[in-house]
Amino acid sequence: MVSLAGAAVARAQQNPELAPPPDKDRVVFVNKIEIEGNENVPGAQLRARMRTKEPSFFSILRKPKLDLSQLERDVAQLTAYYHSIGYPDAVVRVQRIEYLENDRFANITLLVNEGEPIRVASVTFTGSLILKESDLRKGLLLEPGSPYNAALLRTDVYHIRGKYFDRGYLGVVVDDSTRVEDRKVDIVFTVDPGVPLNVGQIVIEGNQNVRRGVIEAEIELDSGELCEFDEVVKTQRNLFETGLFNVVDVLPENVDFHQQTVDIRIRVRERKQSWIETGFGVGNVLGSRIFAEWGTRNLFGTGRTLRLKAQYAFDLFEGDDIDFDKLGFDNTYYRYDAVYQQRRVFGIKLNAGVNGFLENDETVPNLEVRTVGTTFAVSHSFGRPRPDFGYDSEVVGSFSIEDIRRRQTELPEEKSRSNILGGSVSRDTRDFILNPRTGVYRLFSANVAGGILGGENDYYTATANEQHYHVRRSSVFAWRARVGYGAPFGRSDAVPVEDRFFLGGANSVRGYDEASLGPRTFDTAGNPVVSGGEFMMLANAEFRFPLFSRWNFSGALFLDGGNVWGEAGDVTWSDFRLRKNTSDTEPDDFRYGIGLGLRYNTPVGPIRVDYGFPLKPDIYTDEGGTFYLSLGQIF
């Protein structure tokens, strides 16, 4: 058996640049990996293919170790990668390893000699094309001038076949041939489209409780019509979107080229029709909370959904401090819902639903709002398909009738009715909604109450939201900007307090108490009472990084900013100064908070602990930091 030290010596004799440190038993950490000579492939792309890694920006406790055997394998892997993407003469080697700080760290330099690539000279099509050549060229990965990659040639063949499949030519044959001369490749695709096929029989099997008509409503194909493969995919997507099935197969079979027909077999496996869910959680906004839900997704076999939900939230301790002498169950929020939903209205693909609810909300200090209401809503999804069989864009319209009872400190109880017409449009390209790393989320929503709609409150509100996520290596930079505007009209002098904007706390501006920012009034004892505002601005930036990846922990650094104003006209440039004396800070000043956080990542999103410090406190703000405990990312 050859010892590790002996193997290192043998390796160093063959590759002097891979020489181990003088103390061969000492653990060496990677400090930096530099790549030289790579003119056509980005260094980041090459580093991503290596198992030898640089330390991330916040690798404090888990620095990557230098393994010379693994580094040697990485070099071979990079050379093979270059060969696969059209650089047959490429060579990657270790240029040098520089040991630093008493051989505790190492800088690695790799040298790349790419050589001359084999490039695509031409791409031509022959045969009975039927489709325009310009349409066939769209989306090809190998184009004249690009390095030749045999793997991409296979991908382009499938891409061309897909274009014919979408037009009903399921028997299409696409052959490829290449000619190499003087490092130039001529590619020829020969196409035999065959004959277009029409849909024959459509067979449905596997449904036991779901009515056949529910499945037929989701099928995009009709007997006798051209069998377009895109419609086959849409049919499968539609059936998954119903939520009724955990297996859906849409299979073309019994191809008859003489009759020019193909049968479609749809096989499904149903999910359980009903469910019961219970759970609990903790957070700064609703405090400790429990919830329960019963539902059925296939009401009387019609594919319609009925859900009954209950939520209850309470503070375990009086105030924000953990004091077991003040242990209790002070109710802050409860809500009961009965929700009915269906996927289609008069055969049109519109998700429609009715929600009757009772809600009592005391999460804003010195304010209790009790609402009994009914909401009618319709929505339509469109845009690009998502991996979860949804779509990235959605339009929602709703109409709500709400009977409201509100009580504020030392003010008489008020009762009113609001009839609200609402709408929103959103676009969501996030990779994972519960803990996104890439993508964009945009939302614009608006509500109008009163006027010709009736009710006792006349007002409107609008909110715009923008969120972006950028991943670099294993870290994520995320930012959010939100603005909200509201105003009364007609018989009303102000937007009702339950529809005003409130900021501050775990999900908006950390470093400040929940719903503590913006305009204030004072009770008879002189204590400030936050009253909400009709204009709001919010901005968040957060850098999320791995901390103890092995145990699913990660960290975050954040900067928050925002405030609420009584009216949009109250905003001035001086409000946005970064710092002010505490005694000079006014309610209209834009507030800033900074801090750090710890996340424990779970399959359903992270458990989040944040510590926020106010950069612009006023005389009513605790100048020390504040801890926040919540579920899920702040955005």
CATH number at residue 24: 3.10.20.310
* Number of structural domains the chain divides into: 4
For 206-323, list the strands marked E by DSSP. 245-256, 261-270, 274-281, 288-296, 305-317
Q: Rounded distance, CA 293 to CA 335, Å?
A: 12
Position 240 in a domain:
yes
CB atoms within 10 A of CB 254: 13
Position 105 in a domain:
yes
The answer on 571 and 479 residing in a single domain is yes
The answer on 242 and 109 residing in a single domain is no
> What percent of the chain has pLDDT above 90?
63
Position 232 in a domain:
yes
The answer on 563 and 430 residing in a single domain is yes
Range picked from 26-30, 81-85, 442-446 for highest mean pLDDT: 442-446
Residues 125 and 186: beta-carbon distance below 8 Å: no
Q: Which range among 20-29, 90-99, 260-269, 401-410 shows the weakest confidence by mean pLDDT? A: 20-29
Q: Rounded distance, CA 498 to CA 482, Å?
A: 19
Residue located via tokens 């400190």: 409
Position 341 in a domain:
no
Q: Is the pLDDT of residue 385 over 50?
A: yes
The answer on 465 and 612 residing in a single domain is yes
Q: Is the pLDDT of residue 3 over 60?
A: no
Query: What value does the mean pLDDT take over residues 512-533?
Result: 83
Q: Is the pLDDT of residue 105 over 90?
A: no
Q: Is the pLDDT of residue 61 over 60?
A: no
Cβ within 8 Å of residue 135, ≥6 positions away: 163
Give backbone dihedrals phi and psi of 553, rounded to 5 degrees, phi first.
-100, 145
The answer on 582 and 441 residing in a single domain is yes
141-176 confidence digits (pLDDT tens)? 999 998 898 889 999 999 999 999 999 998 899 999
The answer on 21 and 135 residing in a single domain is no
295-324 confidence digits (pLDDT tens)? 999 999 999 999 999 999 877 655 555 455
pLDDT for res 603: 80
pLDDT for res 7: 44
> 91, 136, 112, 131: which is closest to 38 by C-alpha?
112
Q: Is the pLDDT of residue 562 over 90?
A: yes
pLDDT for res 165: 92
Position 438 in a domain:
yes
The residue from 192, 214, 237 where one domain ends is 192
Going by their DSSP bridges, the two strands 348-361 and 327-345 should be labelled as antiparallel
Q: Which residue did the predictor score with more confidence, 105 or 338? A: 338
Domain CATH code at residue 595: 2.40.160.50
The answer on 58 and 149 residing in a single domain is no
Coil, strand, or helix at residue 345?
Answer: strand
Query: What value does the mean pLDDT take over residues 197-219?
Result: 95
pLDDT for res 1: 34
pLDDT for res 12: 46
pLDDT for res 21: 67
Residues of the domain holding 14 = 4-113
Q: Which residues pair with 406 in a beta bridge?
A: 369, 414
pLDDT for res 365: 76
Position 285 in a domain:
no
Position 315 in a domain:
no
pLDDT for res 629: 84
The residue from 137, 172, 192 where one domain ends is 192
Mean pLDDT of all residues in the chain?
88
pTM, rounded to two decimals: 0.77
Q: Which residue did the predictor score with more confidence, 539 or 624? A: 539
Position 282 in a domain:
no
Q: Which range among 217-226, 315-324, 534-543 shows the weakest confidence by mean pLDDT? A: 315-324
Q: Rounded distance, CA 111 to CA 105, Å?
A: 20
Q: Which residue did the predictor score with more confidence, 531 or 457? A: 457
